[in-house]
Amino acid sequence: MKKFKILLALIASSAVHADVYDVLRGTTPTQSISFSDVQATAAATGQVAADQLAQGQDPGSLPPPPPPTTMREEAFKELLNKTFPLKPDQIVEIHRQLDRSQLAVHTSPNPPPQPTSSTLTVDLSPGAPSPIVRLATGFVTSLNFVDSSGKPWPVMDYSLGNPTGFNIKWDSKTNALFIQSTKEHISGNMAVRLANLDTPIMISLVTGQKDVDYRLDLIVPGSGPNADAAVVDSSLPQGAAPSLLNALDGVPPTGSIELNIPKEFGRVWAYNGKLLFRTKLTLLSPAWSGSVSSPDGTRVYELMQTPLILASLNGKTIKIELSGL
C-alpha cells in the first residue's frame, strides 16, 4: 500500500511539472500517461525500494516530491532577474570603481598652487613692464586699485584680451575686480581704465604657475578721486607746487634725474638745479625751501643740491650720501 501511494505521488508530480513547463514554453502536451508508463514507474519505484531494503533502509523514507512550481512563481522569478540582473555585492563594486574613476578625473597631475597676497606699484612710464597676475582654474583673484595715499581708486571700465579663457566680475562701482581663469596653461592681458586717469593700466594674465594671487593690491601713482588733499607748507614757492605734488605721488618730474640712495630711505631726484627728496624721514640738513606731505606720513622736500643729507629716524641721525649727479 505504501509503495502504491509513493507511485501515485511521483506520477502526479511529473504530470504537474509537465503541464507548467508546457504553459511557460507556449506548447501543449501531445501525449497522455498510459498504463505502461504507470507500470514502468512502479517497476522503477519497486527497484528503489528493494535497493533501500538491501541497504537496511526503510522504504518509506523516500524524500517527498518537490512542491509544484506555479506559473506565477516562475513569472516572478523571471521579472526579478530582468529588473535586478546584478547581485548586491556587484552593485557595491560598481560604485567603488565609479568613485575611483571620478577621483582620477578630478585629480590634477600637479600639486595645487600656493596662495599669495602681495602689493605692486604700477609704473605708468613708457616702456615700463606691465604688472603680472598669476591665476589658476578654480581660484578667484581679487585686484584692488589704490592711489599713492592708499585710498581706493574706482574702476571705470575694463577690456579683456581673451574673454573665453578668463572670467571677470565687477559691480561697476568699486575699485575691485574679481578674475579667474576658465582654462589651464593659457595667457592673455587686460586693460583697466580708472576714474580721472587718462592712461589705461595694462595687466598681463598668466596661468599654470606654482603660485596664485589670491589678493593683489595695485598702487597707482597719483591722487585718485577719493584722495585727501595734500598738506602744502605756506613757504612753498608757487611755481614748485606741481613738481612737488607729482613727486609726492611717486611720479618724477619730466626731465629729472633720479639719484642713488638706499631704497629704505626714500627717493631723490635732481630737477631744475635743486633736489626733490621723497621720504618718511624727518629732514635735518640742509634747509629746505618747500615741502608737501600726505596723510600716510610721506613728505617731499625741495632743497639745494648737495652730496650729503642728514635726516632723523626715531630720534636717530642718519647720513645719506647721494651719487649719480
Top pLDDT among 47 and 176 is at 176
Q: Tell me the percentage of the chain whose pLDDT exceeds 70.
A: 74
Q: Give bridge partners of residue 310 from the DSSP assignment.
A: 285, 319
Query: Hey, what domains does the chain have and what are their CATH numbers?
Result: 2-69 (no CATH), 114-219 (2.60.40), 231-321 (no CATH)
Confidence of residue 296 (pLDDT cuts 50, 70, 90): low
- pLDDT at position 216 over 50: yes
Of 90, 318, 113, the C-alpha closest to 208 is 113
Please tell me the least confidently modeled range out of 96-110, 233-247, 274-288.
233-247
Pairwise CA distance, residues 198 & 191, whole Å: 12
Least confidently predicted of 157-161, 251-255, 267-271:
251-255
Q: Which residue has the higher pLDDT, 126 or 285?
A: 285
Q: Residue 78: pLDDT above 60? A: yes
Q: What is the mean pLDDT of residues 137-142?
A: 92
Query: CB 56: neighbour CB atoms within 10 A?
Result: 6
194-211: average pLDDT: 92
Supply the pLDDT for residue 241.
60
- The predicted pLDDT at position 42 comes to 53
Mean pLDDT of 298-303: 89
The 10 Å Cβ neighbour count of residue 175 is: 22
Give 53 or 162, the one with higher predicted confidence: 162
pLDDT at 234: 45
Greater confidence (95 vs 126) lies with 95
pTM: 0.49
Once rounded to an integer, what is the mean pLDDT over residues 133-160? 91
Distances (CA, A) of 108 to 101, 112, 113, 114, 208: 13, 8, 11, 14, 12
- Is residue 191 a contact partner of residue 148, using CB atoms and an 8 Å limit? no
